[in-house]
Structure 1
Amino acid sequence: MARTKPISAFLFIFFAIFTFSGDGESQSFSRVLSLGAKRLKREKMSHLHFYFHDILSGRNPTAIRVAEAPSTKKSPTEFGIVMMIDDLLTERPEATSKLVGKAQGFYASASQSELGLLMTLNFVFLEGKYNGSTLSMVGRNPVMEEVREMPVVGGSGIFRFARGYAHAKTHWLDPSTGDAVVEYNVYVIHY
């Protein structure tokens, strides 16, 4: 009977050492880092202003239909349509204005009662210090409202760890083709 106590104590210590790590996290795939280890100094807020060119018509559209439901054509909101985009982002509203990036992703008609889009896209910047950096936006776009707000949920490059919001305002729309130019004001907090 005296031998069971040392064996029990040994087993308890053995399992305690190998079951729990010092910080309570598994060391096999993760570890806690300080912000300084990733050279993250201080957060700042940036404001970006550009124009989004969504072109559905012509020989080289930047938005194309990739899916729809059988009932989409009968729906007044085109509920169920999915559009893939590679839209230009320019400094001014004119398509010939300086190119600052692209909006790549998709939008889908997600409402049966109003023109409400689910927007899932990356703003891919091609200009200046932002060249190669991206911002990711996911949100609801009720296109008939004058100004729409959508969340910025992340980013890469200069915008690593980004969070913020985007305001979209239709600058120009051709109702016969669906072509549009949308003004974006993006406010993003990043390191």
Structure 2
Amino acid sequence: MVDDPLTFSPDINSTLVGRAQGLYAFSSQEESSLMMAMTFSFLEGKYNGSALSLLGRNPPFNTVREMPIVGGSGLFRFARGYAQARTNTFNLTTGDTCVEYNVYVLHY
């Protein structure tokens, strides 16, 4: 289960714009791969109260991972698109990870 901050940039002092909430689990017997179900819930600006839903396979050791955006709410109703994830930092000792998501969506 995750309930992580969504910030404008990777800087720890960056502006909080929402929360990444959902779950992920290892889903492959041959390689490190996660199945992710996550909602990006926005708390600031014109997207306040809106959300995007991501559902897909995430091989975390690939440089760039692409996952589908399968829907949304609020200003993102009927959203379709994809997200590209890139690991910005990973601390092997603590397990803390900062991931950059670039999201491309079409919505009404």
Q: TM-score range by the shorter chain?
A: over 0.9
Percent identity reads 63
Deviation at 1:177, TM superposition (A): 2.0
For residues 29-65 of structure 1, give each alpha carbon's deviation from its aligned partner in whole angstroms, at most 9, with x where no partner exists. xxxxxxxxxxxxxxxxxxxxxxxxxxxxxxxxxxxxx
SS in 2 for 1:176: coil
Q: Partner of 1:129 in structure 2?
A: 46
TM-score, normalized by length of structure 1? 0.56
Structure 2 unaligned spans of 5+: none
For residues 87-141 of structure 1, give each alpha carbon's deviation from its aligned partner in whole angstroms, at most 9, with x where no partner exists. 1000110222100110011000111221100010100001100000000000000
SS in 1 for 2:83: strand
Q: Which stretch has the larger CA shift, 142-151 or 105-114? A: 105-114
Q: Partner of 1:107 in structure 2?
A: 24
The structure with higher relative contact order (CA 8 Å, sep 6+) is 1
Letter in 2 for 1:118: M
Larger radius of gyration: 1
Structure 1 unaligned spans of 5+: 1-83
Q: What is the correspondence of 1:69-108 to structure 2 with a 5 Å cutoff?
A: 84-108=1-25
Q: Return the structure number with greater helix share.
A: 1
Residue 147 (str. 1) matches residue 64 (str. 2):
yes
Q: For this pair of structures, how many residues does the alignment match?
A: 108
Residues in 2 aligned to 1:176 and 1:145: alpha-carbon distance in whole angstroms: 20
Q: Partner of 1:177 in structure 2?
A: 94
Residues in 2 aligned to 1:96 and 1:107: alpha-carbon distance in whole angstroms: 26
Structure 1 stretches of 4+ with a deviation exceeding 6 A read none
Q: Partner of 1:118 in structure 2?
A: 35
